[in-house]
Amino acid sequence: MSNLAVRLLPVPLFLAAWEAGCRMAESTYFPPPSLIAARARELWFSGPATRLFLTDAAIENFVPSLGRMFGGWLLACFAGIVAGVAIGRSATLSAYLDPLIQFGRAIPPPALVPVFIVVFRDDLRMLLATIVIGVVWPVLLNAVDGARYVDRVQVDTARVFGLTRTQRLVRLVLPAAAPKIFAGLRLSLSLALVLLVVAEMTNGTINGIGYELVYMQQSFDMPGMWGIVALLAVLGLVLNLSFLLLERRTLSWHRLARRAV
């Protein structure tokens, strides 16, 4: 606990320095954090207690954004794991598809936003396509890698004891690949947040966190704009920590087994 307290010490120091710097500079573009926090509270967190203090603006923008992000991420996770395990377990599939995968993952995901705007005229599909295509790669590549290198003795064991295909997949390949797969999932989750904001900032969308960011900028609401940035940082942090917690619970055998060796 005291260790954590020591490690968190730079945070208030940084905030204090930030506050002092902005107050001295007196620039419209760099409002002090206290002002940003007050504006954020006014904009999004001054609603009724029954709605967890969220205002209409918060619900209108954050809920669809989170929905899009998780929707896209989950779709990408599912597709990436299914395809990745299949490719990892099949040398033929792997040989044929590897060049395509290398090509696909080399495309910077935001480059596809204009393409998807033209292809999918409606908002939601454009956003989902951007997120799915952008974040599927870490999941896919890690799943391929994890499924490919299952320990030979474990594979032999499964064969000797006559495990069926389904059993081998569920009881051997997936658990064996899980540490790699989880690493991919975590990477893609933070990437999903990035792509969500990028896609929502382009014209066409009518709400969302990215939309709000551009809207604040265009209406010269500097504290509001900074507020969105800070909010995104907190959101990213919370997502990563929650995922780490889930990972620790699911993969406790992996952590402990490695420590035991």
Report in angstroms how near the CB of residue 256 gets to another protein at its nearest. Answer: 6
> Which residue, among 147, 18, 130, 129, has the nearest Cα to 93 in the 3D structure?
147
Mask of contacts with another protein, 171-210, x by CB under 8 A?
xx--xx-x--------------------------------
Residue 45 DSSP label? S
Question: Encoding tokens for residue 16?
Answer: 């204090």
Q: Find how far residue 108's CA is from the centre of its chain.
A: 16
Does residue 159 belong to the site contacting another protein (CB under 8 A)? yes
3-state SS assignment for residue 121: coil
Q: Which stretch binds another protein (CB under 8 A): 46-54, 88-96, 203-211, 249-257?
A: 249-257
Report in angstroms how near the CB of residue 21 gets to another protein at its nearest. Answer: 51
* Alpha helices in the chain, H assignment, sequence order: 2-8, 10-25, 33-44, 56-89, 91-106, 113-119, 123-148, 152-160, 165-167, 174-201, 209-218, 222-250, 252-260
Task: Rank residues 75 and 172 by Cβ distance to another protein and give the closer one.
Answer: 172
Considering CB under 8 A, how many residues would be counted as binding another protein? 23
Task: Rank residues 102 and 250 by Cβ distance to another protein and give the closer one.
Answer: 250
Does residue 257 belong to the site contacting another protein (CB under 8 A)? yes
Which spans of this chain sit near another protein (rule: CB under 8 A)? 151, 153-154, 156-157, 159-164, 167, 171-172, 175-176, 178, 253-254, 256-257, 260-261
